């Protein structure tokens, strides 16, 4: 694998791990610990994490598989809600491979 390809793969991995963390941190600060996928995508973009809706949904699916969030549908929108385990990851109490650690 070329150095350029390795670098590109590293960037994608870092963006993915950062996107997952930003989703968890955003959910921690919302009333009811939940938010729509479209708001989560906008928040990631605002914080400098490039995020398409497909990338956001993939992150939500992954976080749900890890039991860090629950997901439900309301009308045409996906709604994510952080779990206790997700809150522990968001605040740095617990680490999960695949989610960037929060800054101290």
Q: What is the pLDDT of residues 61-98, one digit of tens each?
A: 999 999 999 999 999 999 999 999 999 999 999 999 99
Q: Could you tell me the pTM of the whole model?
A: 0.92
Fold designation for 3-90: Arc Repressor Mutant, subunit A (1.10.10)
Where do the structural domains in the chain lie, given as residue ranges?
Answer: 3-90
C-alpha dihedral sign at 35, 36, 37, 42: negative
| Pair 80, 35: CB distance under 8 Å | yes
C-alpha dihedral sign at 104, 25, 98, 81: positive
């Amino acid at each position: 694998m070329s150095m350029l390809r390795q670098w590109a793969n590293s960037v994608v991995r870092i963006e993915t791990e950062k996107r997952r963390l930003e989703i968890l941190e955003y959910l921690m600060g919302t009333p009811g610990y939940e938010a729509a996928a479209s708001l989560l995508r906008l928040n990631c973009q605002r914080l400098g994490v490039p995020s398409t809706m497909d990338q956001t949904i993939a992150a939500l699916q992954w976080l749900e598989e890890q039991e860090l969030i629950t997901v439900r549908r309301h009308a045409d929108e996906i709604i994510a809600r952080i779990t206790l385990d997700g809150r522990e990851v968001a605040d740095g109490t617990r680490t999960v491979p695949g989610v960037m650690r929060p800054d101290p």
